Amino acid sequence: MTDFLDPFERMIAALFSPAAVRAAERGEPDDRAWSELAASGFLDALVPEDAGGAGVSFADIVPLWLVLGRHAVPCPVGETMIARALLAQAGRAAPDGPIAIAAQAPGAAGRVIGAALGRHLLVEWEGNLYLAAVPGEADGGDRELAASVRWDSEAATPVGPIVPGGLRRAAAVLRAALIAGAADRLTTMTAGYANVRIQFGKPIGKQQALQQQLAVMAEDMVAARIAAHIGGAGSFPPALAAAATAKSVASGAAARVAAIAHAVHGAIGISEEYDLQLYTRRLQAWRLADGSESYWNRLLGAERLAAPSGSVDFVRTALAPA
Amino acid sequence: MFDTLEPSSLPPEDEALRSRVRALAAAATAARPADVRARSWQGFDADFSRKLGAAGLLGLTLPKAYGGGERGPFARFVVVEELLSAGAPVAAHWIADRQSAPLILNYGTEAQRQFYLPRICRGELFFCIGMSEPGSGSDLASVRTRAERTAGGWRVNGQKIWTTGAMHCDYMIALLRTSGSAEDRHAGLSQLIIDLKAPGITIRPIVDLTGDAHFCEIFFEDVDLPADALIGAEGEGWKQVTAELAFERSGPERIYSSVVLLDAWARHLQHIGRDDPAVRALVGDFTARLATLRAMSIACTARLAAGESPVVEASLVKDLGTAFEQHLPVAIGDDLAAHPDEPVSDELYRTLTYVTHVAPSFSLRGGTREILRGIIARGMGLR
Ligand SMILES: Cc1cc2nc3c(=O)[nH]c(=O)nc-3n(C[C@H](O)[C@H](O)[C@H](O)COP(=O)(O)OP(=O)(O)OC[C@H]3O[C@@H](n4cnc5c(N)ncnc54)[C@H](O)[C@@H]3O)c2cc1C
């Protein structure tokens, strides 16, 4: 299924080293990285073959998004994949360059992840998609690469209709996969650190208290990954229940995973020069982006309560893995 | 990390079993209120188990030659999922079907297979697990109950405890010390199949905090067993038990212990029409976690289906699953009591009370939380 996964991971690792991620965060993104990505064809992975894309299934996209999370990729790569797929679905040509995505009303300000590096914004409003220009500047010192974005319906290009909520659902599955990928990297880093950091004459990983915390971290990480796969198991854009499950579980895990990663690392994890923070800061941002766990839980709960079936039947029929 | 746990799906031919199990489970549970159905694991109903056997729903992972279904762990997943979500009484065949039969198939002699397996598949022979002792719970390698070689076989002396269902069962597969001392740890342990009707055995049920009696203490006084009581190789007991625990820990049973309560509560909400943002968020949280745990358990089942012994993965799913099962009664109790003016049926209240009181056992039986996390930590290269 994933002969393209290894080449993709190698490319992403080469383009987005921790140094490159930091440069992007300083407002000095590497334009060549984007050109190389665009030339690779991966940005059109979700675009059907007859529309000039790679025609990769939604389920097979999720592993690519996990890779983006594992490397703390600062540019809106997954967002651009979603945007280009939706534009192709609408029979529209996609603009060059990074595209951020959001569901928000015209005129209202919303924080959009990746907007600081995006040139365009694909936005959903009242069941329709619009393509708008974004200022393209980070606004604030938080290095999240999110920007507060406003779009103007007069100046935007109407793209066409979308399943209501579809864009935000696609974004939620992307965030879930990014969280799971970053959590995977953090779990490996943290277990590795626990094996080399010596206190009281032995590696801290030999302390049972830390082993128990790391086991919990691994459980959360695996749950987030499986939930992201549930998000990608059906149609694109995903059904509400699938997106909600992915984002609820991944967002719930994100804060705990970040907390344990920092707890085990001690002070070094707080320092800028140590890579841990590249991943933990993104975990926190992705947790909140496109709806936190409570947001999606409310929607999923309403759907569940409206169903006459029992709980197991509900998850079995609406939320089975691919 | 832990990339072996990949999403997987239930094969259609195994899904096809669902309606048959569902019909049998519905018939068995129709007259039982939710608080009785919530006792699914404890519900001993030999008739029902024989019906499952007759319908070809037991021993699904065993070869046809021994009366099995020659299918695989996915088929068993479907059956167990249906039984537990209906709250059907599974206690009689539960352990034989899940653990004893695969153990006998993998390690038993041909004679043992032919004797035990067809009867297990028909729902006629019931087994219990004799691992724990008063001095050996988490530290299983410290068991002291001994089996000594005699002219004709083995003589057993000692005591087991917390043996689920022993008072109703035909056989126990016991982990015993056959050589050396408790200090020898993993060496010198063996598994024996003990006929619970043998002279010298005393079984005493232990009443639990809900008033039920489902587990027992068992005393062995010069219990003579034939030579073929040994299952597998002498001294290999530790290895065999470890593999057995992967069967015990990975299934859907580590997710569904509170599911009868969850459904009773959801029906209460639907009936009363309470549908505010807070309760939606709670229902959504449960639903998302349940869906994810189910997918994780299926992923683990896929490792079993591939012939592996996913000890670490099973520990991971069990720890997360039992935390979910234990969280449900706490959160549902909070929700109901946060609405003191809302009428709650006696049935729902009794179900909540029962599950609340018994919930601590979910993370004890089959290995405690701390022990499972230790196994995961070892799988992460920390030990
Ligand atoms: C409902 C139920 C059914 C059961 N059915 C069976 C059965 O059919 N057959 C059978 O053989 N057994 C059965 N058991 C027993 C069960 O397997 C044991 O209870 C369990 O393994 C724990 O052992 P223990 O109760 O002796 O607790 P202990 O081992 O004394 O543990 C007490 C506490 O100490 C912790 N602890 C112990 N060692 C460590 C360590 N090294 N590091 C960190 N923490 C530690 C434990 O995690 C636990 O929190 C059943 C138990 C229950 C509750």
CATH of the domain at A274: 1.20.140.10
CATH of the domain at A93: 1.10.540
Q: Which residue of A has its CA nearest to B274?
A: A305
Beta carbons within 8 Å of B72's beta carbon, 6+ residues apart: B14, B60, B61, B304, B305
Q: Looking at residues B251-258, what average pLDDT do you find?
A: 90
Position A316 confidence tier, pLDDT thresholds 50, 70, 90: very high
pLDDT of B183 reads 72
Mean pLDDT of chain B: 94
Q: Where in chain B is the domain with CATH 2.40.110.10?
A: 129-235
Position A149 confidence tier, pLDDT thresholds 50, 70, 90: confident
Beta carbons within 8 Å of B172's beta carbon, 6+ residues apart: B127, B128, B129, B130, B160, B163, B166, B193, B194, B196, B218
Range of the domain at A210: 167-319
CATH class of B129-235: mainly beta
Residues A204 and A147 in one domain: no
Residues A140 and A13 in one domain: yes
**Residue in the block written with tokens 């994949």:** A81
**How many Å apart are CA A275 and CA A19, to the nearest integer?**
9
pLDDT of A136 reads 53
Q: Smallest CA–CA separation between B288 and chain A, in Å?
A: 4
Higher per-residue pLDDT: B219 or A146: B219
**CATH numeric code, B12-125:** 1.10.540.10
Task: Give per-residue pLDDT as tens, A150-178.
Answer: 898 889 999 999 999 999 999 999 999 99
- Given A140, A161, A182, the domain boundary residue is A161
* A93, two tokens: 């040509």
Mean pLDDT of chain A: 93
CB-CB contact of B52 with B123 (8 Å): yes
Task: Using the atom order of ligand 1, give the atom closest to the CA of residue B129.
Answer: 9
**DSSP state letters, A79-147:** HHHHHHHHHHHTT-PPPSS-EEEEE--TT--EEETTTTT-SEEEEEETTEEEEEE------STT-S--E
Ligand 1, from B242, B368, B372, B382: best to mutate by most atoms within 8 Å of Cβ?
Answer: B368
Fold of B248-380: Butyryl-CoA Dehydrogenase, subunit A; domain 3 (1.20.140)
Return the number of CB contacts < 8 Å for A and B: 181
Task: Give per-residue pLDDT as tens, B131-181.
Answer: 999 999 999 989 999 999 999 999 999 999 999 999 999 999 999 999 887
pLDDT of A31 reads 85
pLDDT of A1 reads 45
- Given A110, A142, A161, the domain boundary residue is A161
Phi, psi of B106 (to 5 degrees): -75, -40
User: Is the pTM here over 0.80, yes or no?
Assistant: yes
Residues A100 and A232 in one domain: no
Residues A142 and A276 in one domain: no
Residues A156 and A180 in one domain: no
ipTM: 0.88
Task: Give per-residue pLDDT as tens, B94-144.
Answer: 999 999 999 999 999 999 999 999 999 999 999 999 999 999 999 998 999
- Measured by CA distance, the residue closest to atom 38 of ligand 1 is B138
**How many Å apart are CA A241 and CA A247, to the nearest integer?**
10
Plot region of A131 (φ>0 → left; ψ -120 to 50 → alpha; else → beta) = beta
Q: Where in chain B is the domain with CATH 1.20.140.10?
A: 248-380
Residues A146 and A224 in one domain: no
Q: Look at residue A57 and give its three-state secondary structure.
A: coil
Task: Give per-residue pLDDT as tens, B34-82.
Answer: 999 999 998 999 999 999 999 999 999 999 999 999 999 999 999 999 9
**How many Å apart are CA B211 and CA B224, to the nearest integer?**
34
Residues A287 and A242 in one domain: yes
Residues A136 and A266 in one domain: no
Q: Which of A58, A66, A61 is nearest to A12 (CA)?
A: A66
B279 — contact with chain A (CB < 8 Å)? Answer: yes
Count: domains in chain A: 2
CB-CB contact of B178 with B190 (8 Å): yes
